[in-house]
Amino acid sequence: MITVRQLFDLPVFQGSEILAGEKGVDHPVRCIDIAEVPDPSLWLDPGVFILTTAYAFHKEKRSLMFFLESLVRSRAAGLGIKLGRFLDELPREFGEYADKFNMPVILLPLELRYTHAIRSVTEAILKDEERDPDFSDLSESLSKLLFCESYEDALATFEAAGISRSSKGVVLMIAGTPSETAVLTSVIAGIVQSEGDLFAVVRTSSETLILSRPFVLEEHDFSKAVKFFPKGTFVTSGGEYSLEEIRSSYEEAKLCRRLLKIFASPEGAYSKAELEVFFPFLQGESSGLLKENALRLLSPVIEYDSANRASLLQTLWMFMLCDCDHAKTAQRLHLHRNSLRYRLAKIRRLLPENSLNGVAFHRLFLALMIYFAHCAPCTN
């Protein structure tokens, strides 16, 4: 586990020095974040190392103590602070409080770039995890559970680590290459690990998979972590399954990701509970009949698009996803509102009367979802 002391060995922190809380330099660092608000308590996680320029305190220094108290209560790993730009010095009581509760306070050089620091710390954390023999063994065993036909030896490895094959777990999927999602992975893994629920992490070329004890995404506020989500990236979770059946959780997490792409959802964290009502429309024996019915309903618009190199179907889908809001749809499609109105008028003429009202509207929505899930090119 990377500690605050080891941060000093990273080239990016060259020139840093400890101001207070030196007895806490062996605190484990599970992730790194930025805080420029007086009260970060709602989104602080145990083991997080905080960076700040103290901008929020340059006019109200009393709130600086509240900020430090929040770090202590949340069991943060430490605080890296830049002085000389917004705040010239720390009050004496600040250092005394940090010393009392062993909260490391590190003076950062003014030239330090947050992006460089976050990347360096995250890479160090991930490399340390890979060097941990127990963690590596479990991660390799998780790969076998998810991707191999024979995995009895993998179950034996988990059992040797005290995790029985009947233990319940969930798979959290972070879509995107490890190089793009390294910081996000560290944040999510840190949240899971802070609750003692982290089992293993597997990284492939296109996703990172975290196996944890039952973990409810809805109970955690990821809105403050949105800056760590690369564009088009989702964190999704499958359902709870025993270790022997954990592949089902992985498949459900993949279904969630697929639905989010179809729905053009914003970056964020989504669970099976939010999306499973749509699962039958992506799988099952009836999918052939569903596709046939969807194509029959949408065929006039599909044929028009094909004959005229138009994109009415995509326009209609986005209009529905935007709750039939003209302004929002025009913005998402980069269209003038008059152009959008023209397209919608054409769509209404092509479809059965009142297709955008009542039960017919919901039928049309499901038909479009099935089309983009199964029939449209480049959607899977």
Whole-angstrom Cα distance, residue 190 to residue 186? 6
Residue 378: per-residue pLDDT: 47
DSSP letter string over 221-254? --GGGGGGS-TT-EEEE---EEGGGHHHHHHHHH
Q: How confident is the model at residue 26 (pLDDT cuts 50, 70, 90)?
A: confident
Note whether 125 and 30 are within 8 A (CB).
yes
Note whether 368 and 317 are within 8 A (CB).
yes
Note whether 156 and 200 are within 8 A (CB).
no
Q: Give pLDDT tens digits for 299-309.
A: 999 999 999 99
Give me the mean pLDDT over the 118-147 stretch. Answer: 76
Tokens 């029939």: give the residue: 375
Residue 133: per-residue pLDDT: 46
CB atoms within 10 A of CB 330: 20
Q: What percent of the chain has pLDDT over 70?
A: 89
Tokens 């449209």: give the residue: 376
Question: Is 90 exceeded by the pLDDT of residue 246?
Answer: yes
Q: What percent of the chain has pLDDT over 90?
A: 42
Whole-angstrom Cα distance, residue 120 to residue 196? 25
Whole-angstrom Cα distance, residue 371 to residue 366? 8
Whole-angstrom Cα distance, residue 52 to residue 33? 9
For 310, residues 6+ apart whose C-beta sits below 8 A from its C-beta are 304
Note whether 80 and 108 are within 8 A (CB).
yes
Mean pLDDT of the chain: 85
**Count of all residues that appear for the chain in the document:** 380
Rg of the Cα trace of the chain? 25
Poorest-confidence range of 103-112, 277-286, 319-328?
Answer: 277-286
CB atoms within 10 A of CB 184: 25
For 250, residues 6+ apart whose C-beta sits below 8 A from its C-beta are 146, 171, 173, 209, 238
Write b or e for each residue in 283-298: b if 16 or more Cβ atoms lie within 10 A of its Cβ, otherwise e: eeeeeeebbeebeebb
Poorest-confidence range of 45-49, 89-93, 263-267, 309-313?
Answer: 45-49
pTM for the complete prediction? 0.65
Whole-angstrom Cα distance, residue 315 to residue 41? 42
Note whether 43 and 26 are within 8 A (CB).
no
Question: Is 70 exceeded by the pLDDT of residue 135?
Answer: no
Question: Is 90 exceeded by the pLDDT of residue 173?
Answer: yes
CATH architecture designation of domain 4-119: 3-Layer(aba) Sandwich (3.40)
DSSP letter string over 164-187? -TT-EEEEEEEES-HHHHHHHHHH
Q: Give pLDDT tens digits for 55-81.
A: 877 666 678 888 888 888 888 899 999
Among 30, 41, 35, 34, CA closest to 7: 30
Whole-angstrom Cα distance, residue 208 to residue 186? 11
For residues 182 and 317, the model is more confident at 317
Q: How confident is the model at residue 129 (pLDDT cuts 50, 70, 90)?
A: low
Residue 42: per-residue pLDDT: 60
Whole-angstrom Cα distance, residue 155 to residue 251? 19
Q: How confident is the model at residue 252 (pLDDT cuts 50, 70, 90)?
A: very high
